Amino acid sequence: MKWRSILVWFASGLVFGAGLSLSGMINPRKVLAFLDVTGQWDPTLLLVMGGAVAVTLLGFRFVLRRTGPLLGSFDLPTRKDIDIPLLLGAALFGSGWGLAGYCPGPALAAFTVDLREPAIFCIAMAAGMYLRRLLPL
């Protein structure tokens, strides 16, 4: 039943978005204050990651033991190798993140408090995603 799937996607996003806002990650200066280790360091993001990973480390174990999710089947990344695209991609992503303090989730959530900045960032992010296909990797 389609509506149950829609409900799951919506509810998951709802909880995720509330978490993004509560954690303070929508504030790019707070993120940059974490990344700025030699400056006025704000370790909050470490705790945010810690809290999130604590849930997934514990919870994913149980969920992945099942033969399938509540609806449909598992559709998970299967690759295990470390290759150049992974390393380069992570480096490029890190560069953008370290520059602006925005990554995809917070940039979208920022539309609840602002228009100009998340618009510029997200349009550029979309462009970057399309442009990735031009890269010979």
Footprint of another protein on 50-109 (CB under 8 A): 50-57, 59-60, 63-64, 68-77, 79-82, 85-105, 107-109
Kindly state whether residue 10 participates in binding another protein, applying the rule CB under 8 A.
yes
Minimum CB–partner distance for residue 75 and another protein (Å): 6
Residues 21-40 that bind another protein (CB under 8 A): 21-30, 32-33, 35-40
- Please tell me the distance from the alpha carbon of residue 39 to that of residue 36, in angstroms, as a whole number: 5
The helix (run of H) or strand (run of E) holding residue 62 is: helix 44-65
Count CA within 13 A, CB hemisphere, residue 79: 5
Residue 67: what are its φ and ψ, rounded to 5°? -75, -25
Minimum CB–partner distance for residue 54 and another protein (Å): 7
Tokens (6 digits) for 85: 């695209």
Minimum CB–partner distance for residue 131 and another protein (Å): 6
